[in-house]
Amino acid sequence: MKSAVVVFPGINRDNDMAHALEVVSGTPAHMVWHADTELPDVDVVVVPGGFSYGDYLRCGAIAARAPIMDAVRRHAARGGFVLGVCNGFQILTEAGLLPGVLMRNASLKFVCKLVHLRVENANTAFSSAYAAGSVFRTPVAHGEGNYFADDDTVKRLEGEGRVVFRYVDAEGNRGTDGNPNGAINDIAGILNDAGNVLGMMPHPENLVEPIQGGTDGRGIFESVLAAVA
Amino acid sequence: MKARIIVTLKTGVLDPQGKAIEGALKSFGLAGIDGVRQGKCFELEVAETDPAAARAKLTEACEKLLANTVIENYHIDLA
Whole-complex ipTM: 0.83
Q: What is the pLDDT of residues A167-219, one digit of tens each?
A: 999 999 998 899 999 999 999 999 999 999 999 999 999 999 999 999 999 99
Task: Decide if B11 touches A, using CB distance below 8 A.
Answer: no
Residue B79 has pLDDT above 90, yes or no: no
Angle at the Cα of A21 (from A18 to A23), degrees rounded to 5?
105
Chain A residues closer than 8 Å to B66 by CB: 57
Backbone angles phi and psi of A49, in degrees to 5: -90, 170
CB contact under 8 A, A108 and B66: no
% of chain A exceeding 70 in pLDDT: 100
Interface of B with A in 19-78 (CB under 8 A): 20, 64-66, 68, 70-71
Complete DSSP assignment for A71-97: HHHHHHHTT-EEEEETHHHHHHHHTTS
| pLDDT for A143 | 97
Maximum C-alpha span of chain A: 45
- Positions of A annotated as catalytic residues are 86, 203, 205
Mean of the pLDDT values across residues A57-75?
96
From 3.90.226.10, 2.60.120.260, 3.40.50.880, 3.90.550.10, which CATH number describes the A3-228 domain? Answer: 3.40.50.880
Closest chain B C-alpha to A10 CA, distance in angstroms: 19
Q: What is the pLDDT of residues A90-134, one digit of tens each?
A: 999 999 999 999 999 999 999 999 999 999 999 999 999 999 999
Which of A53, A55, A56, A58 is most worth mutating to test chain B (most B CB atoms within 10 A of its CB)?
Answer: A58
| pLDDT for A198 | 98
Q: Which of B14, B17, B65 sits opposite A65 (nearest CB)?
A: B65
CB contact under 8 A, A182 and B68: no
E strands, chain A, are 3-7, 30-33, 44-47, 81-85, 101-103, 111-119, 135-142, 146-148, 163-168, 187-191, 197-200
Chain B residues closer than 8 Å to A99 by CB: 70
Q: What is the pLDDT of residues B5-53, one digit of tens each?
A: 999 999 988 888 899 899 999 988 888 999 999 999 999 999 999 999 9
| pLDDT for B14 | 84
All structural domains of chain B, each given as residue ranges with its CATH number in brackets, are 2-78 (3.30.1280.10)
Rounded distance, CA A43 to CA A3, Å? 6
Mean of the pLDDT values across residues A66-93?
98
Rounding to the nearest 10 degrees, give the CA dihedral for residues B69, B70, B71, B75.
10
